[in-house]
Amino acid sequence: MRHHLPAVLAVAAGLFCAACTPGTPGGPDEPQEPEPDTTTPAPTADPEPPPLAWGPTRTDLEEATQDAAALNDGELAGLVIIARYEGVSADVPASLIADENLGGVLLFGPNVEGLAQVQQVGAAAQEAAETAGRDWPAMIAVDNEGGNVQRLSARTGPWTTFPPFAAAGGAEESVVREAMAAMGRELRASGITTNFAPVADVTGPEDAAIGDRSPSSDPDEAAVAVRAAVEGFAEAGVLASIKHFPGHGALSVDSHEALPTQSASTEELEGRDLIPFHAGVEAGAPMVMLGHINVTAWDEGAPASLSPAAYDYLRDELGFTGVAITDGLDMGALGGSSAEIAVRAVKAGADLLLTPADAPAARDGLVEALGSGELKRERLEEAGGRVIAMLRHQQQQAKDSGPVSDGDVGAAKEAADALANS
């Protein structure tokens, strides 16, 4: 026979109380109040806020935005600009940061003369940022996609040459992730904080510009490669940027030369071009680069990089909360002065302006627009806050990823070969 233990105990307890004498504790004539609890509960620490997908927490972002708001107009306007420059001297990029208040620099092939020289550029730029009173690093960036678009490779110094990113299409995620992590370690050992990669474009038969820079003509295959690459760069402590939103791979005009038009509907874009971008955002990409692409379904005649509708889609539909960066503002797809383009991009929703043709003029244009009221300071503070939070997070991520040294440069051949042969 199965006994119901709680019921048996309850009956026993009732019999025990019935036997209690009146006036004794527990007796039926004198119900007892519970003894008051005089102990003070231990204070509980507030739980750590969860990180956003791209790394910082909302608290980090709020603090960074407050720090951006404390900057004067010139400092804040400069913070959101990444400049290109001439020559190989470390003094030039350092002065752009110290004297022009710019957020960082992008190195191209002519700026590279070997490992020691690139390291000097990075060290001088970071020293300039510290001298300017910043507690966040300068952005020292390159385009290292692999293949022909690789500023630091065996062609320019002791770095490993990686295959075009097309090799990542169909490869095992672990192979892609390790290859990009190995590339990232080489970059960080060289003083580079940021890589404008991976390409998330899905190629099509009319492609005029992307080619083997794209991982695949299959959107799902491209998505796998983009996700793995974003994770690999994060593992190495290097910032990544997926590009060129909402997709340049099916366009018949190269935006370096003129403005291409994307006539597909939003539904068509969602079924193809946007799939890898969605994967990259979910993987924690800290930056999304907006291309100079006229998306007729969003904003007829306007490049996505200057279109509020494009930034709204990125934020509202893809849920991206990181740094939205423009493609190079010195490209042939755009018309107008550096000042005009800069103001238009920030008003539209850009957080970071990449390589205006005249970076100081772009900064001055932003300052003038603030003074006239054309540009709301809250919009620029929002942009600057995201940039500061991202750069601080990269600094911490680099520490967490472990030390790097000159010995890491050129050490990625095995990972590169595995990707090439996958």
Which residues belong to the active site?
256, 327
Instruction: Tell me the C-alpha distance between 265 and 149, whole Å.
Output: 30
> Cα angle vertex 350, ends 259, 266, to 5°?
60
Burial of 158 (0-12, 13-18, 19+ CB in 10 A): middle
Instruction: Tell me the C-alpha distance between 384 and 66, whole Å.
Output: 10
- Which whole-number Å values give the CA distances from 350 to 78, 93, 288, in the listed order? 14, 23, 10
Phi/psi zone of residue 166: left (φ > 0), alpha (ψ -120 to 50 degrees), beta?
alpha
* Residues with Cβ within 8 Å of residue 16, at least 6 apart in sequence: none
Two structure tokens written together for 282: 């979910």
Per 3-state DSSP, what percentage of the chain is helix, strand, and coil (rounded to 5)?
Answer: 45, 10, 45
DSSP line for 176-245: HHHHHHHHHHHHHHTT--EE---B-PBP-TT-SS-GGGSSBSSHHHHHHHHHHHHHHHHHHT-EEEEEEE
List 370's β-bridge partners, or say none: none
CB distance 246 to 264 below 8 Å:
no
Type of residue numbered 8: V
HSE on the CB side for 421, CA within 13 Å?
A: 6
What's the N-to-C CA distance of the chain in angstroms?
Answer: 67
Burial of 6 (0-12, 13-18, 19+ CB in 10 A): exposed
Phi/psi zone of residue 98: left (φ > 0), alpha (ψ -120 to 50 degrees), beta?
alpha
Q: Which helix (H) or strand (E) holds 86?
A: none
Two structure tokens written together for 393: 């997070």
Instruction: Tell me the C-alpha distance between 294 and 287, whole Å.
Output: 21
